[in-house]
């Protein structure tokens, strides 16, 4: 990052490679649309370049870049107006949200993605930053402007909510399966 | 070839690859706000002179001024962190600092009134009230402008909050300077000084909102109505 600040363009390539996956996951978790996420990722990197002087040497690069990505997402939301803020994916439409590696053991990918998308924004944000991007709670606190304890609580509660939502989904699926069996219908689909 | 995002950014970056000087830590940059408040104090002492009841106050006045300047600085330093992505101060800390600033202002007014109670001339209460409010607001423009110049080098991550805290900090500094001259310590009159601080905070909050809006327009020129 310091080389990049000194004007070494080639160091941007390494920076791009190391930051892109995490930033894309974060933006996807916010906008839930791959095309829009890619546009915002481009905007994030442009903003990152324009404000490269705001990186204070010695600090965490992923936390700084995520802070910029968050800012870009919020500004995008603001520019689209309130209607976009309350946009929710249509009933059966599955959001493009990335699935937590740890959570994959809890159930099938589709159910987790759907459960994740129904979490409140602030909790999902902390969960994604910690589990998908690997940011520490201190870094998350610096990005969100909250205390470290508050960041921990948000991520923990998000995980609890996710577990409950998945249990509900499982219960609904098994209930439907039983009904189908009594009616002589097809058995429920197995999770992949 | 990597991907379309990379290719489009790479050309933009190659166009503007000049080396940049990283920002100094916020606590160092906030010293400029502190210095501008000190300049105001010197300016008041040189142009208007010390308050007429200085004999009754002496060290109390200087202690109170120093306390207010320290409060102004301790608000400016975290405010400048509000424009650095990934380094935002906790909202609780800012609220605590704002409460401490308010306490300093109240204690300063009470201490000065206790050591040297003085009232505005009869029939001129409102005139002196308005005059003190206007002078304090005008004085606060210098440190507020200094804070905004420093802040504008960052990114308006929390521009409104940045504006509000900077305005309060500038107001505290300006009030400390004007108190060196204004000899009226009547609690009713000092509400003019406190109102000036609040007014500067609100004006700076609006300035922060304008800065944020302009930034959004620059990012998405077509989509903003």
Q: What tens digit of pLDDT does each residue of B34-88 get?
A: 999 999 999 999 999 999 999 988 899 999 999 999 999 999 999 999 999 998 9
Out of A167-171, B23-27, B150-154, which region has the weakest mean confidence (pLDDT)?
A: A167-171
What pTM does this model have? 0.84
Is the pLDDT score of B29 beyond 50? yes
List CB contacts of A133: < 8 A, sequence separation 6 or more.
A22, A25, A26, A62, A66
* Positive or negative: CA dihedral A169, A175, A179, A185: positive
Q: What is the pLDDT along chain A (192 residues), one digit of tens a residue?
A: 778 888 787 888 888 889 998 999 899 888 888 888 888 998 899 889 888 899 988 888 999 999 999 999 988 888 776 545 445 444 444 455 565 655 555 566 777 777 888 888 888 888 888 888 889 999 999 999 999 999 999 999 988 888 888 887 777 766 655 555 555 544 444 443
Q: Please state the three-class secondary structure of chain B as a single string.
A: CCCHHHHHHHHHHHHCCCCCCCCCCHHHHHHHHHHHHHHHHHHHHHHCCCCCCHHHHCHHHHHHHHHHHHHHHHHHHHHHHCCCCCCCCCHHHHHHHHHHHHHHHHHHHHHHHHHCCCCCCCCCHHHHHHHHHHHHHHHHHHHHHHHHHHHCCCCCCCHHHHHHHHHHHHHHHHHHHHHCCCCCCCHHHHHHHHHHHHHHHHHHHHHHHHHHHHHHHHHCCCCCC
| Contact yes or no for A68 and B155 at CB 8 A | yes
- Which one of B86, B91, B152 would you mutate to disrupt binding with A, by most A Cβ within 10 Å of its Cβ? B86
ipTM for the assembly: 0.83
What is the distance between the alpha carbons of residues A165 and B116, in angstroms, rounded to a whole number? 66
Nearest to A55 among B4, B22, B90 (CB): B22
Please give, rounded to a whole number of angstroms, the shortest distance from the CA of A50 to a CA of chain B: 9
**Percent of chain B, pLDDT > 70?**
96
* Alpha carbon A109 to its chain's center: 15
> Could you tell me which of B170, B109, B179 has the C-alpha nearest to residue B137?
B170
- Tens digits of residue pLDDT in B78-134: 999 999 999 899 999 999 999 999 999 999 999 999 999 999 999 999 999 999 999
- Which residues on B lie below 8 Å from A152 (Cβ)? none
Distances (CA, A) of B156 to A67, A71, B84: 11, 8, 8
What does the pLDDT read at residue B80? Answer: 94
Q: pLDDT for B157-203, tens place per residue? A: 899 999 999 999 999 999 999 999 999 999 999 999 999 999 999 99
* Per-residue model confidence (pLDDT) at position B225: 39
């Amino acid at each position: 990052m310091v080389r990049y600040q000194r004007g070494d363009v080639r160091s941007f390539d390494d920076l791009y490679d190391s930051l892109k996956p995490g930033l894309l996951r974060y933006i996807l978790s916010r906008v839930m649309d791959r095309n829009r996420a890619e546009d915002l990722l481009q905007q994030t990197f442009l903003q990152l370049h324009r404000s490269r002087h705001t990186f204070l040497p010695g600090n965490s690069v992923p936390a700084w870049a995520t802070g910029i990505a968050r800012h870009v997402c919020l500004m995008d939301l603001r520019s689209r107006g309130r209607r976009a803020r309350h946009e929710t994916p249509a009933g059966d439409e599955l959001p493009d949200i990335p699935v937590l590696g740890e959570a994959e053991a809890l159930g099938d990918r589709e159910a987790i993605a759907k459960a994740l998308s129904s979490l409140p924004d602030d909790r999902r944000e902390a969960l994604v930053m910690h589990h998908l991007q690997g940011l520490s709670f201190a870094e998350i606190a610096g990005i969100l402007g909250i205390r470290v304890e508050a960041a921990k609580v948000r991520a923990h509660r998000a995980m609890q909510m996710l577990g409950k939502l998945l249990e509900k989904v499982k219960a609904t699926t098994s209930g439907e399966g039983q009904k189908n069996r009594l009616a002589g219908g097809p058995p429920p689909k197995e999770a992949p | 070839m990597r991907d379309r995002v990379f290719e489009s950014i790479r050309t933009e970056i190659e166009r503007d690859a000049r080396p940049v000087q990283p920002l100094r830590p916020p606590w160092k940059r906030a010293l400029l706000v502190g210095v501008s408040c000190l300049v105001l104090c010197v300016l008041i002492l040189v142009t208007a002179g010390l308050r007429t009841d200085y004999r009754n106050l002496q060290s109390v006045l200087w202690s109170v001024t120093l306390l207010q300047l320290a409060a102004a600085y301790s608000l400016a330093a975290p405010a400048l962190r509000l424009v650095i992505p990934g380094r935002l101060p906790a909202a609780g800390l800012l609220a605590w600092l704002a409460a401490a600033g308010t306490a300093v202002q109240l204690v300063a007014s009470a201490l000065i009134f206790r050591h040297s109670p003085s009232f505005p001339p009869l029939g001129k209460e409102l005139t002196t009230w308005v005059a003190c409010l206007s002078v304090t607001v005008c004085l606060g423009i210098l440190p507020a402008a200094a804070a905004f110049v420093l802040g504008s080098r960052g990114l308006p991550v929390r521009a409104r909050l940045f504006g509000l805290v900077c305005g309060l900090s500038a107001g505290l500094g300006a009030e400390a300077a004007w108190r060196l001259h204004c000899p009226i310590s009547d609690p009713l009159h000092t509400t003019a000084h406190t109102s000036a601080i609040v007014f500067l905070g609100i004006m700076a909050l609006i300035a922060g909102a304008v800065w944020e809006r302009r930034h959004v327009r620059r990012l998405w020129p077509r989509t903003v109505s």
